[in-house]
Amino acid sequence: MTATLTPVAPGRPTDAGRSRGSGRRRRSALTGWLYATPTAVFVLLLFVLPLLLVLQMSASDWPLLGGNRGLNLPANYTDAVSNRFFADSVAFTVKYTVLTTVILLALSLGLAMLVQESSRWKGLLRTAFLIPSALGLASASLLFYVLYSPIAGPFAELMASWGFTFLGTPDGALWSTIFLIVWRYAGFYMLLMLVGLQGIPEDVYEAARIDGASRWQTFTGVTLPLLRPTLALTTVLCVTGSLLAFEQFYILTKGGPDNSTITIVQLIYSVAFQGPNDLGVAGALSVIVLLALVVINIAQIRAFNRKAED
């Protein structure tokens, strides 16, 4: 075919040249695919396949001990939504997320500015704030479980004399858990904030000083707007992480006292492994959570982008 075309387009490169070129392109495309393969395989095995399986599970009658027993489509989703803890767990998860995000982000921004300003104690402070992040969340939760224990903990006598236990009341359990999370994650978010703060050029601050801006004006007029990409990143991370909270509540409260601290992921776990042992309904709950997360994250990213355009 190509041979007959050659005379018609004399100005173009020769056949040989063209085929060499497309061969090079093909080879480089092949190399590209090769580079991408390991990641693609991992994504396929560890993300796409599990996701498909959860979708299948959520559509099937699938008892934990009995295996797949065929299609059970609308029933799993109606059972999931009508679970007697569904509404409570959604409400609790949202409440926990809002509280954690607000406290954690405000505190970590404060810490970052403190650490940036003070020069003398900078190294010590940064290390001190960051060290808890080196501890796994489950280990940290166990550590606090003992600290909060009314029997074995160091505050046992104090609690006895006050007639109060950290994990004994719904509010106590919620705030004790939030304290653990803030302790564990403040350093990590501080680090992200610090990177953002150091990305703000010094001359902008200098200009603000020349214009006679007060400290507060500098903060609201310069720091916050220029920190927006960092704030967007940390908010998305913190909201998503909090919505998927599990380990801390599983270890510290097990959803108690009186079922007041059941998060949505804990509900999934208990439907799958603690009682109903129904992987179908648990899968349906997981799919609902996944969809909600996608929607929430799109909304967050859009909101931050729109602000940036203003």
In the list 86, 255, 263, 288, the residue contacting another protein (rule: CB under 8 A) is 255
- Tally Cβ neighbours within 10 Å of residue 249: 24
55 touches 257 (CB < 8 A): no
Nearer to another protein, 167 or 227 (CB): 167
- Contact flag: residue 47 with another protein (CB under 8 A): yes
In the list 151, 202, 216, 310, the residue contacting another protein (rule: CB under 8 A) is 151
What CA–CA distance (Å, rounded) separates 206 from 258? Answer: 56
In the region spanning residues 91 to 130, those forming contacts with another protein, defined by CB under 8 A, are none
Single out the residue of 214, 202, 193, 145 nearest to residue 173, CA to CA: 145
What CA–CA distance (Å, rounded) separates 277 from 157? Answer: 40
Q: Count of residues binding another protein (CB under 8 A)?
A: 55
In the list 5, 36, 40, 46, the residue contacting another protein (rule: CB under 8 A) is 46
Q: State the binding string over 160-189 for another protein (x if CB under 8 A, else -).
A: x--x-x-xx---------------------
In the list 59, 62, 76, 90, the residue contacting another protein (rule: CB under 8 A) is 62
- The three-class DSSP label of residue 238 is helix
Token pair listed for 199: 């990305």
What CA–CA distance (Å, rounded) separates 17 from 139? Answer: 63
In the list 63, 132, 170, 221, the residue contacting another protein (rule: CB under 8 A) is 63
- Contact flag: residue 51 with another protein (CB under 8 A): yes
Nearer to another protein, 221 or 241 (CB): 241
The alpha carbons of the chain give a radius of gyration, in whole angstroms, of 27
Nearer to another protein, 97 or 115 (CB): 97
In the region spanning residues 224 to 253, those forming contacts with another protein, defined by CB under 8 A, are 236-237, 240-241, 244
Q: State the binding string over 26-45 for another protein (x if CB under 8 A, else -).
A: --------------------
- Contact flag: residue 66 with another protein (CB under 8 A): yes
Angle at 115 between CA 111 and CA 116, to 5 degrees: 115
What CA–CA distance (Å, rounded) separates 175 from 160? Answer: 19
What CA–CA distance (Å, rounded) separates 287 from 274? Answer: 19
- The three-class DSSP label of residue 121 is coil
Q: At what angle do helices 86-117 and 264-273 cross, to 10 degrees?
A: 130
Interface with another protein (CB under 8 A): 46-47, 49-51, 53-54, 56-57, 62-68, 85, 149-152, 160, 163, 165, 167-168, 236-237, 240-241, 244, 254-259, 262, 265, 268, 270, 272-277, 279, 282-283, 286, 289-290, 293, 297
